[in-house]
Structure 1
Amino acid sequence: MMDSGLGGLSVARVLRQQLPNESLVFVGDEGHFPYGTKPQATIRRLVSQIGQFLLHQDVKMMIIACNTATAAALDRVSQELPIPVIGVIQPGAKAAVKTGAASIGVIATDSTTQDGAYVRDIHQLSPNVHVVAQATQPLVSIVEHGQTGTAKAQVTVNQQLSMFDNHPVQALILGCTHFPFLSKEIQRKMGDKVKLVDPALETVHEARQYLTAHDLLAAQKESYVHLYSTGDVHDLIAGGDKWLAGQYDDCLHIDL
């Protein structure tokens, strides 16, 4: 599993809950954070390098736990690697459509929003759904800097989601894996009637389905979790302690 930073831990957390027998190798590319403002060609190169690193860890599946990286690089990396590669956008779109909402909002990074991947996937599944997409790049930094649960976090969420005051939606896709860590602030802003959609849940469900269908589910209960960071390893340690409840074996720095 990989992400541009700490956000992918939201997917790792669900994976560990739903598939506790599976071992996990997680790469947070904090040395190149953020992805959301980078050219797609740069993102594709970075994701490809991480894919090769994971392949050398003898993994059986790669999950791109980053919406920006999924939009930019899923097709390329799927062709390059001899293992299945799953992204988070299509599962997120499926989960949103399943809610039955007539109007769906999407909040994401600049790059994911400009790519329009969520809008395309939602309309492929349900052409008549009204989609409102909004780039909310500053929310990523709130999570990376450990400011969730603070007054600043709520103020930033309120500012970034203010456009939904005039464009109400029934469901809102958290279209960046950092955003589930701000779900309380986002729900408070949007109101209890808006269904928040976390693509992590559907992504792990799809991973389980594939592993089951191909008889690849781990049988042993002695699983491990290895975390790697291309940046300051202490940031990933802090994230692992907070969002994985410290349930990982080690956290190391790597250069790619």
Structure 2
Amino acid sequence: MRDNPIGIFDSGVGGTSIWREIQKLLPFENTIYLADSKNAPYGEKSKDDILRLSIKNTEVLLKNDCKLVVVACNTATTNAIDYLRKNYDVPFIGIEPAIKPAALQSKTKTVGVLATKGTLASSLFHSTSEIHASGINVIVREGTGLVQLIEEGKVDSQETRKLLLKHVRPMIDEGIDYLVLGCTHYPYLVPILKEILPESVQIIDSGEAVARQTKSILNKNGLLASQRSKAYHRFYTNANIHVLESFVMNGETDYNVSVLDF
């Protein structure tokens, strides 16, 4: 199984930010990525719907012989990963907002979290906040509308800039010195955020930590790929193929983007 692919799924193109970090750290690993864009955003759905979609995505990846599954979606992780781990035999890597490092490093004792409704309402998010952010003023904000704009390929639009400013300005006014990105779509907004935020505010996302955890779990289970000259990367979407292509074009010589009905 060592040369079987790593499976990655998200509610759309956002999880490609996680894929990039994994591919950078583990260049010999084959990957299969599912962008469930026709059902995006997950953050507005019920827990039952999120679980159903997560099961569907997992089973598609397992049919493609994936040796490990990365749930590259904060909302799916917080609402479904416990079930997935109990019911399937492969390792699962989840995504959580990086509250712990922000809380530990904050000098103002005030941090912001920009995430989806589904993530912020989850019991996992609340328990993580209680454990790691005791004594910290955590300002949460639902990034309503941002995922939809990114899924439409409007990352650098004036509409996106205006909406992003509306979401982060209250947190700036509260004196945050760290902004935690609690959705894998949001790292694509970092260039705009750096223009909006004061220089004193640091941005944290989970991408590098997820890649390190993926490597650790593969190594622990004896599943690290044998080294080869070039790994393959397969990307599937059930919506607009051109949007996904625009997020994964990075000079790879062996990658393929296709439409798949799942």
AA aligned to 1:114 is A
- 1:232 positional shift: 2.6
Aligned residue in 2 for 1:196? 203
- 1:246 positional shift: 5.6
1:69 to 1:60, Cα distance in 2 relative to 1, 3 A: same
1:112 to 1:245, Cα distance in 2 relative to 1, 3 A: farther
Q: String of CA shifts for 1:3-51, please: whole Å, max 9, x gaps.
A: 0010001001111111111111000001212211111100100110110
Could you say what the CA RMSD is over the residues aligned between the two structures, in angstroms? 1.9
Aligned residue in 1 for 2:181? 174
Counterpart CA distance in 2 for 1:124 and 1:80 is 27
TM-score between the two structures when normalised by the length of structure 2:
0.89
Aligned residue in 2 for 1:99? 105
Aligned residue in 2 for 1:156? 163
Q: String of CA shifts for 1:183-209, please: whole Å, max 9, x gaps.
A: 021222221111111111111111111
Counterpart CA distance in 2 for 1:192 and 1:246 is 34
1:245 to 1:171, Cα distance in 2 relative to 1, 3 A: farther
- Taking the TM superposition and a 5 Å limit, the aligned residue runs for 1:116-131 are 117-131=124-138
Q: Does 1:223 align with 2:231?
A: yes
Tell me, which stretches of 5 or more residues in structure 1 are unaligned? none
Q: Does 1:112 align with 2:112?
A: no
Query: Which among 31, 35, 48 is matched to residue 41 of structure 1?
Result: 48
Most deviating of 182-191 and 100-109: 100-109
1:245 to 1:168, Cα distance in 2 relative to 1, 3 A: farther
Counterpart CA distance in 1 for 2:165 and 2:254 is 34
Tell me, which stretches of 5 or more residues in structure 2 are unaligned? 1-7
Does structure 2 conserve the Cα–Cα contact (< 8 Å) formed by 1:26 and 1:227? yes
**3-state secondary structure, aligned to 1:154:** helix
- How many aligned positions are there? 253
1:141 to 1:255, Cα distance in 2 relative to 1, 3 A: same
Most deviating of 29-38 and 120-129: 120-129
Counterpart CA distance in 2 for 1:247 and 1:201 is 23
Most deviating of 167-176 and 113-122: 113-122
Q: Does 1:207 align with 2:178?
A: no
1:126 to 1:114, Cα distance in 2 relative to 1, 3 A: closer
Does structure 2 conserve the Cα–Cα contact (< 8 Å) formed by 1:106 and 1:118? no
Counterpart CA distance in 2 for 1:161 and 1:27 is 30
AA aligned to 2:105 is T
- 1:237 positional shift: 1.9
**3-state secondary structure, aligned to 1:251:** strand
TM-score between the two structures when normalised by the length of structure 1:
0.91
**3-state secondary structure, aligned to 1:185:** helix
AA aligned to 1:180 is P
**3-state secondary structure, aligned to 2:43:** coil
AA aligned to 1:201 is E
- 1:59 positional shift: 1.2
Counterpart CA distance in 1 for 2:124 and 2:81 is 11
Counterpart CA distance in 1 for 2:40 and 2:239 is 9
Aligned residue in 2 for 1:81? 88
